[in-house]
Amino acid sequence: MVISRQENHEENLEVENYKFERVQNFKYMSVTINGKNKNHEEIKIRLTAANKCYNGVTSILKLKQVSFKSKITIYRVIIRPVLLYACETWPTTKGDEEKLATLERRILRRIFEPKINNTTRQYEKRNNIEIQQLYKEPQIVAVLKYRRMSWAGHVWRSNGLMKQVLEWKPQGGQEHLPGRNNGGLTRWRRI
């Protein structure tokens, strides 16, 4: 597979006597890698897997006999690892982060149950602020960013290929193209 945003029409890669077939995507360690280097589909797959996991433990989360602490532990140990598997390398967008946060809030609403309004004596759904105050732990987007920074530190401390890729500098220098300022950004011109 060739990871590029440009079309590459080479069919197979040959190295010595070996032929490698070019594919659009493949699965490696349960992570789908595609040729366009976009992870939106992978995030959707993770959301679906976490949703299935959540549906599998919903009966436990509904039980009144199970404490809130135990329910939160179930979320943190069973559901969240399924959702955040290999998240360290995801280039997320605001939309992706909002989808992750929405799933987390839905699960936490199930855990903390609706509240009773004292004046109307009816159940009301808890708002996002109340859920965060009850949860008392970092939101899932903060956990994602923490893991990403931890992985970046791991790569920085290593001495392998990943560090070489991280420290690589293009040859030929940088040249500013005429036209709009683009917010002070410059573009690379192919040499």
**Do residues 35 and 87 make contact, with C-beta atoms less than 8 angstroms apart?**
no
Residue 28 has a pLDDT of 67
Lowest mean pLDDT among 91-100, 112-121, 126-135: 112-121
Q: pTM of the prediction? A: 0.69
Residue 145: name the closest of 95, 92, 99 by CA.
92
3-state DSSP call for residue 71? Answer: helix
Query: Would you say residue 4 has pLDDT above 60?
Result: no
Does residue 8 register a pLDDT over 80? no
Helix (H, G, I), strand (E, B) or coil at 40: helix
Residue 52: what pLDDT? 94
Say what the pLDDT of residue 191 is. Answer: 44
The predicted structure's pLDDT at residue 145 = 92
Q: Which residue has the tokens 């920074």?
A: 149
Local structure of 42: helix, strand or coil: helix
- Is the pLDDT at 90 greater than 70? The verdict is yes
DSSP three-state, residue 6 = coil
Mean pLDDT of the chain: 80
Q: Which residue has the higher pLDDT, 112 or 186?
A: 112
Question: What pLDDT was estimated at residue 17?
Answer: 83
pLDDT of residue 176: 54
Query: Among residues 111, 110, 92, which one has the least CA distance to residue 43?
Result: 92
